[in-house]
Homo-oligomer: A and B are copies of this chain.
């Protein structure tokens, strides 16, 4: 695999082009980009060279790189054409196998490496992540045990009750502050959703957007315990929910509710926002039984 920092940098540049922060003709400063990303100039330079080869940037020897004329169009293609993360794919595969009962409760690392064709490093990376998310743990002695708890549909409801406990509470934190630009960004996103993106986006992206909204709201509490807990819930929820996203009808209502919450926050009426947020989550939770059939018909989807 090419250096991960390089591809990270490339992704960031592409993102800025797609979002319009960089326009055709703009010159790229390596140091500035590096500072933005918290890395050194070197991988930034490599990323720029890579993108120049693909025509997104123009190389101007001795003076660095500028954004090509048809970059915005190309950038989208290049972004889509980037290779998917193999390890992440296996992560979902494991979750899938667990949910469908293909993977036993107790496994050795060797059997996992064998089954999913992973190097030692990749496997420990994966298992550590899974352990951190709480759905597997090291046994004393050898091997790992998967917890059964999180594979049941009930866990999805539990995740919502947890969110109902923490999300409205986070709005009542002293020092709650949602920066105006983030508020605007959230609102723009919701409006774009209502404007048609609900129909054009794929399920993953819809989930991602919803998560980002809620994490932005909770993150503004300045209380990292709340945000951290929410992030963890969401990561697990993703495993449980992604089968059930086919039904888009509720997204219209959700976007409207999100906007109402933002309006209350903007008006400085945090108790009202908290109330609306609670009602919103309640509504979503109440709807779980409707999608439960999807959850239970566990079937492998990835090749």
Contacts and interface: CB of A to CB of B under 8 A. Distances in A.
A149 interface: yes
B8 A159 contact: no
A233 B110 CA distance: 33
A223 to B, nearest CB: 4
B225 A141 contact: no
Given A5-B140, A38-B139, A165-B165, 20 more contacts: A4-B140, A8-B140, A39-B140, A40-B141, A43-B141, A128-B128, A132-B132, A134-B224, A147-B224, A155-B224, A158-B224, A159-B225, A161-B169, A161-B173, A164-B169, A166-B229, A228-B232, A229-B229, A229-B232, A232-B232
Nearest to A43: B141
A169 B170 CA distance: 14
A226 interface: yes
Interface in A149-163: 149-150, 155, 158-159, 161-162
Contacts of A158: 173, 223-225
A98 to B, nearest CB: 15
Contacts of A147: 224
A298 interface: no
Interface residues of A, number: 37
Main secondary structure of the interface of A (DSSP, over half): helix
Given A165-B165, A223-B161, A228 B40 contact: no
Contact of A37 (B128, B132, B140, B164): B140
A224 B233 CA distance: 10
Nearest to A37: B140
Nearest to A40: B141
Contacts of A140: 4-5, 8, 37-39
Contacts of A39: 139-141
A213 B50 CA distance: 57
Contact of A226 (B43, B141, B162, B170): B162
A251 to B, nearest CB: 24
A178 to B, nearest CB: 17
A223 B132 CA distance: 17
Interface string A271-292: 0000000000000000000000
A34 to B, nearest CB: 9
Contacts of A141: 5, 38-40, 43
